[in-house]
Structure 1
Amino acid sequence: MKKTIIIVDDHILIAKAIEGIINNFKDFTVINVAENGQDLIDKFENNCAIPDIILMDISMPIMNGFEAVSWLKQNHPNIKVMALSMQGDDNSVIKMIKNGARGYLLKNTHPKDLEDALIRLNTDGFFYPEWASKIINNAITGDNSKAIKISGREKEFLAYTITELSYKEIAEKMCCSPRTVETYRDQLCEKLGLKTRVGLAIFALKNGFAEL
């Protein structure tokens, strides 16, 4: 079964062009197009089907991409959101990721690269091209990353953060209590200056802690 996608972009011609490209992909189909974040919310409130993935523009009237991603994180956290924008500056990338986006692409991306990115987003839960990964990694680790000491058990926990396992299930895998897992999480967040599991997962992927 194809994974479903909603495109959120105020430039309708661009949105329709992207829709046409995606509908030619083997594993994905576009089920709706929204003109901005508020339009997306309105569609959901009118019983629009909930998609697997949302491609989100940033610069839009009424409700921009930053606000829309934040709303989705609170109300539909299981939807994987990928930013698709002309804005590739550090602030935009970091803000979108902090607000809940799990991927980032520029609109000049080749269709084949878009398809590959959607596949990776669907299977891995995250996708960032090399240029975006550098921005994210620098923001997460800073210049003191080599001085951070991470224990063996914390490294094991980091590897599980990129999976879809709940913290309770991670505890079972690690043969410890859920409270211990929460302690690993809290200690790592404090060491790395992070606040969310997404941040921990990105750190794990970018720093070689993703393999069990």
Structure 2
Amino acid sequence: MEKINLAIADDHKIFRQGLKAILLDCDHLNLVAEASNGKELLGLLKEKTPDVVLIDIKMPEMDGMQATAAIRHTYPGIRVLALSMHNEDKYIVDMMRAGANGYLLKNAEPEEIISAISTVHEKGFYFNEHLSVTLVKQLLGQNSSGTGEAPDAELNEREIEVLKLICQEMTNVEIADKLFLSVRTVEGYRTRLFEKIGSKNIVGLVIYAAKKGIIEL
């Protein structure tokens, strides 16, 4: 498995230590830089070039939003994964507008943190289910930078039809009624969409559909 080089920026030393313990347990993750604020992180990036940066939003001297914007401008190839205790839409939107590739809550399980790092490195974006479809549409409509390129996927006509309805936040039952299909058939289409697009949640499907012009924002 390809090694993923990481940098961490968080002003809470105890949290950094805990996060490092999680990362060191994974052979494919390699920590190359550690900072206590955004200013320190930018200084380290002049010498180290990580693939993914895990960055806290609230930090002294230079916060995560300012640092993310600077990274996006100077190091466009680096993926930025925001870490925060806040799950309010405002914080998520602000970080996405700054150019973050994903948003993860600090109380996430170790498995989700590892998965988020791998996903944001491979796909260019990662969001948990808290980030609603409506919010994603808002983000992509106002500033699509930082979400990465949409992966290529060969979808047939019916899959595209189901994808459009998913993006309208319709349930499997509602989609089944609209298309005169069984719920189980719709569930099958939904599963194949996740597999083909390479997404683990609806947010990823919406981003793909928006990037490919399947839905209009």
- How would you bin the TM-score normalised by the shorter chain? 0.5 to 0.7
1:207 CA drift (Å): 6.1
1:141 CA drift (Å): 7.7
Is residue 13 from structure 1 mapped to residue 1 from structure 2 by the alignment?
A: no
Count residues in correspondence: 156
Distance 1:208 1:122, change over 3 A: closer
Is residue 3 from structure 1 mapped to residue 4 from structure 2 by the alignment?
A: yes
1:133 CA drift (Å): 4.1
Residue matched to 2:187: none
1:123 CA drift (Å): 1.3
Residues 151 and 208, structure 2, Cα contact 8 Å, conserved in 1: no
Residue matched to 1:191: none
The 5 Å alignment of 1:109-148 reads: 109-134=108-133, 136-137=135-136, 139-140=138-139
SS at match of 2:53: strand
Query: Greater shift after overlay, 67-76 or 16-25?
Result: 16-25
- 2:111 counterpart letter in structure 1: K
SS at match of 1:88: coil
SS at match of 2:30: strand
1:67 CA drift (Å): 0.3
The 5 Å alignment of 1:12-161 reads: 12-45=13-46, 47=47, 49-134=48-133, 136-137=135-136, 139-140=138-139, 161=149
Q: Distance in 1 between matches of 2:131 and 2:121?
A: 18
Distance 1:207 1:80, change over 3 A: closer
Give unmatched runs, 5+ long, in structure 1. Answer: 143-159, 165-201
SS at match of 1:131: coil
Query: What TM-score results when the alignment is normalised by the length of structure 2?
Result: 0.65
The Cα offsets for residues 88-123 of structure 1, whole Å up to 9 and x where unpaired, read as 111110010011100100000000111111111111
The Cα offsets for residues 140-192 of structure 1, whole Å up to 9 and x where unpaired, read as 489xxxxxxxxxxxxxxxxx94149xxxxxxxxxxxxxxxxxxxxxxxxxxxx
1:162 counterpart (143, 147, 150): 150
Residues 84 and 105, structure 1, Cα contact 8 Å, conserved in 2: yes
SS at match of 1:26: coil
Distance 1:133 1:126, change over 3 A: farther
Distance 1:67 1:21, change over 3 A: same
Residue matched to 2:199: none
Q: Distance in 1 between matches of 2:16 and 2:134?
A: 27
Q: Distance in 2 between matches of 1:31 and 1:141?
A: 31
| CA RMSD after TM alignment | 2.7
Query: What TM-score results when the alignment is normalised by the length of structure 1?
Result: 0.66
Residues 37 and 59, structure 2, Cα contact 8 Å, conserved in 1: yes
- Higher share in helix: 1
Residue matched to 2:205: 205
Q: Distance in 2 between matches of 1:81 and 1:140?
A: 16
Give unmatched runs, 5+ long, in structure 2. Answer: 142-147, 153-201
Q: Distance in 2 between matches of 1:39 and 1:31?
A: 14
Residues 93 and 136, structure 1, Cα contact 8 Å, conserved in 2: no
1:134 CA drift (Å): 3.6
Q: Distance in 2 between matches of 1:7 and 1:120?
A: 17
The Cα offsets for residues 125-144 of structure 1, whole Å up to 9 and x where unpaired, read as 100011124463252489xx
